[in-house]
Amino acid sequence: MKKVKLAVVGVGNMGRAHARDVHDLPHTELVAVCDVNEKFVQETAAFYNIPAYTNYQEMLDNEELDGVIIATPHYDHPPMTIAAFERDLHVLVEKPIAVDVQNGRKMIDAFYKAQETNPKLAFGAIFMQRTYGHYRKIKDLIDSGELGKLIRTTWIITDWFRTQAYYNSGGWRATWAGEGGGVLLNQSPHNLDLYQWLVGMPDRVTGFANLGKYHNIEVEDEVTAYFAYNNGHIGHFITSTAESPGTNRLEIVGENGKLIFEDGKLTFFRNRQSSFDFIETATGGFDKVENWQIDVPYTDHGQPGHKQIIANFANAILHDEPLIAPASEGLNSVMLANAILLSSFNNMTVELPIDGEVYIQKLQDLIDSSSK
């Protein structure tokens, strides 16, 4: 049986989990691991009886690989990804694909260049929440037209609670030089990815980001953003690592009704007719559109989402299976995060796509003053 030979770069919490999944899946083989922390990498390598490296370039040059999974701190993603493409290797990268749009584009450009000689090259991102049954059902309802024209999307996602001890656990965490951002770059990339996957990218962003409001950190731990679309659709995105108990409530409103997902329950308030039509034709000033409350069933995603993403990555290499989360789409969540911060820093609404050079200049100022 053909197996995809993979190495994992970065064997912290997520990297060790990825190594385990690669080892356990039937169509993947864990060939090597790499990390600058010699203790971590030696322990992981010994457990699987495979080579350990502290230099990823050395590993790429010495091991017979089909691809790599990159689970390092965010700033390392672009150079490692580009180095892999230069060696004609497939890449699966953790979220976010990059800290900033400028470097994200460099990764995608390197991918397209490598595809010129190897059109079957795969470049995926680990957005495992796209495999979750409830989000797949929501996307199906939207894409099939059940909601009609979209009016509003509001996501309150404040159940990312973190303590000061969490931020103190790694010197790179929650610093501009080490991580490049806070809740938008660490916890909420999944939600930003799902937001744009479900309802598309906005045209304008107004963001309000509070830096170290509730924790002794440099970066944002509370964010509110307003998204505007040229077609009239509006969006709200509210996230925090300081609320306990937090909330995870997604509302998507269209002319044909409203979807709500909260506490594992997906509810569709289905209008009997379009609210737009009703506005025009109703004879009473306070009339309401008749609607029915429907509890929408969905299939649970089963095995862990990370494992599904890795299995899908292997199948893309072996059988041309479409990627669940192409890394090129991962640029969108980076764009949204950068736009929210840039808007907040400059106290103004920003147009998408943002000027990557303007953002990276601001980021460099923050890095220069960082404690890392």
Using H for helix, E for strand and C for coil, what is the string for the chain?
Answer: CCCEEEEEECCCHHHHHHHHHHHHCCCEEEEEEECCCHHHHHHHHHHHCCCEECCHHHHHHHCCCCEEEECCCHHHHHHHHHHHHHCCCEEEECCCCCCCHHHHHHHHHHHHHHHCCCCCCCEEECCHHHHCHHHHHHHHHHHCCCCCCEEEEEEEECCCCCCHHHHHCCCCCCCCCCCCCCCCCCCCHHHHHHHHHHHCCCCEEEEEEEECCCCCCCCEEEEEEEEECCCCCEEEEEEECCCCCCCEEEEEEECCEEEEEECCEEEEEEECCCHHHHHHHCCCCCCCCCEEEEECCCCCCCCCHHHHHHHHHHHHHHHCCCCCCEHHHHHHHHHHHHHHHHHHHHCCCEECCCCHHHHHHHHHHHHHCCCC
Q: What is the pLDDT of residue 197?
A: 98
Q: What is the pLDDT of residue 304?
A: 75
b/e for 60-91, b at 16 or more Cβ within 10 A? beebebbbbbbbbbbbbbbebbbbbbeeebbb
Question: What is the rounded CA–CA span in Å between residue 29 and residue 240?
Answer: 38
Question: What is the rounded CA–CA span in Å between residue 80 and residue 72?
Answer: 9
Q: What is the pLDDT of residue 303?
A: 67
In order along its 372 residues, the chain shows pLDDT tens digits of 799 999 999 999 899 999 999 999 999 999 999 999 999 999 999 999 999 999 999 999 999 999 999 999 999 999 999 999 999 999 999 999 999 999 999 999 999 999 999 999 999 999 999 999 999 999 999 999 999 999 999 999 999 999 999 999 877 789 999 899 999 999 999 999 999 999 999 999 999 999 999 999 999 999 999 999 999 999 999 999 999 999 999 999 999 999 999 999 999 999 999 999 999 999 999 999 999 999 999 998 766 789 999 999 999 999 999 999 999 999 999 999 999 999 999 999 999 999 999 999 999 999 998 876
Q: What is the pLDDT of residue 109?
A: 98
Q: What is the pLDDT of residue 271?
A: 98
Q: Is the model's pTM score more than 0.85? A: yes
